[in-house]
Structure 1
Amino acid sequence: MTEPTIAQLAARIEVLESEADIRRAQARYMFLCDTPCPEFGVEDDATRIELILDLYTEDAVWEGVGEYYDNQFGRVEGKDALRAHFNRFWGEKTDPALLLNAHYLTSEQIYVDGDVAEGQWIHMQPWLFSDGRSLLRSSRLNNAFRRVGGKWLISRTRTENVFVAALPDNFAEAYPSASVLLKP
């Protein structure tokens, strides 16, 4: 067996660090999409949206694909279109109100190729509404990333529905009205 060179080891470390940065970017996106928003100091959805947009490239694409998400989410391109997309989600108050959703990621696969990467996950999230209704949603994520100025950013979010299932009314007995986890 040949001993790896310092350059080969450095390249392997670069890939591992890139994977970790991409993992953190994806997890931060999901974290910021949770309701109630668990980010300390974020008091309004406009601030939340700008923090989410900080994770994206200027030319990023966000799209729902497949027979269920095509019509529900469609496709937007560029930060202004992404901002409008997220404003439609959080800016328009719904009745019943969304009280809680939390994103769980699993089945991770990240492939780094220089300054670009692809990542796949399966994601699951419960939704609780003010009228007592509850849903469990799952989707597959096929996302792209690009290193810009030394930082890994999301260049494409692509989500495809796996299933949406109604849960029993008043499924959750206890849930927070606000997150206090990150308060100093």
Structure 2
Amino acid sequence: MSSQDTIDSLVRRIEVLEAEADIRRIQARYMFLCDTPCPEYGVENDAQRIELILDLYTDDAVWEGVGDYYDGQFGRAVGKEAIRAHFQRFWPEDQNPKLLLNAHWLTSEQIHVHGDEADGQWIHFQPWLFDDGTSLIRGSRLNNAFRKVDGVWRISRTRTENVAVADLPDFFAASHAKKSVLMKAPGTNHTNEHVTHVTDA
């Protein structure tokens, strides 16, 4: 193998590793923005968070629930306008009972990069707590697709399939945050902007 072949091979391998890292971040950010209370600093309502979620998607993206349970519950949305409407139905202003807590755990990751396209599979679990005390835990498999658009990886398909939904005891979380302050420490001006700490040599 020539020196140039070696360099080309290393470049391709680095590009795959960078793609996997970007895809991992974008999938985790999607879940982060779907948490309740929303931990993103400065987001005061669900309309704001929906727009941040939509920024993660390609213009022609698909969001779909599949399988016996999710097909009827979620259906299929194609394009950003349809996905926006899906999330607006998910977080209506007059939601009753009101969702108080929802947090996502991602596991069993697989990411496969094919040039400027990729797919990834995960299992995720999420507990739900509503203001009437009802609660449940939901588990799903994800089979998502991604595409690089103008040099930026975005989600081109979210596909979720139910694994299990189980009721939890009423008011299972004895205490829970009403609002997240994760991205802004009390008494500081820190936000979610990157902060570089410099120390003397």
1:176 corresponds to which residue? 177
Aligned amino acid, residue 124 of structure 2:
H
Greater shift in the superposed pair: 138-147 or 125-134: 125-134
Give CA deviations for 1:141-171 in whole Å, capped at 9, x if unaligned: 0000000000000000000000000011111
Aligned amino acid, residue 94 of structure 1:
Q
**1:133 lines up with 2:117 in the alignment:** no
2:27 corresponds to which residue? 26
Tell me the C-alpha RMSD between the 2 structures: 1.5
Once residues 98 and 32 of structure 2 are traced to their aligned partners in structure 1, the CA distance between those partners, rounded to angstroms, is: 19
* Larger radius of gyration between Structure 1 and Structure 2: 2
1:73 corresponds to which residue? 74
Question: SS in structure 1 opposite 2:106?
Answer: strand
Question: SS in structure 2 opposite 1:69?
Answer: helix
Once residues 16 and 41 of structure 2 are traced to their aligned partners in structure 1, the CA distance between those partners, rounded to angstroms, is: 31
Give CA deviations for 1:122-147 in whole Å, capped at 9, x if unaligned: 00000011111110000000000000
Structure 2 unaligned spans of 5+: 185-189, 191-201
Give CA deviations for 1:36-88 in whole Å, capped at 9, x if unaligned: 11000001111101100000000000000000000000001000101111111
Number of residue pairs aligned between Structure 1 and Structure 2? 184
Give CA deviations for 1:94-126 in whole Å, capped at 9, x if unaligned: 221110000110000000000000000000000
1:120 corresponds to which residue? 121
1:107 corresponds to which residue? 108
Question: What's the CA shift for 1:2?
Answer: 9.9
Once residues 2 and 109 of structure 1 are traced to their aligned partners in structure 2, the CA distance between those partners, rounded to angstroms, is: 32
**1:89 lines up with 2:90 in the alignment:** yes
Question: What's the CA shift for 1:7?
Answer: 1.1
Once residues 2 and 174 of structure 1 are traced to their aligned partners in structure 2, the CA distance between those partners, rounded to angstroms, is: 62
Once residues 84 and 74 of structure 1 are traced to their aligned partners in structure 2, the CA distance between those partners, rounded to angstroms, is: 12
Once residues 2 and 124 of structure 1 are traced to their aligned partners in structure 2, the CA distance between those partners, rounded to angstroms, is: 48
Aligned amino acid, residue 38 of structure 2:
C
| TM-score between the two structures when normalised by the length of structure 2 | 0.89
Structure 1 unaligned spans of 5+: none
| TM-score between the two structures when normalised by the length of structure 1 | 0.97
Question: SS in structure 2 opposite 1:91?
Answer: coil
Q: Percent of aligned pairs with the same residue?
A: 73
1:145 corresponds to which residue? 146
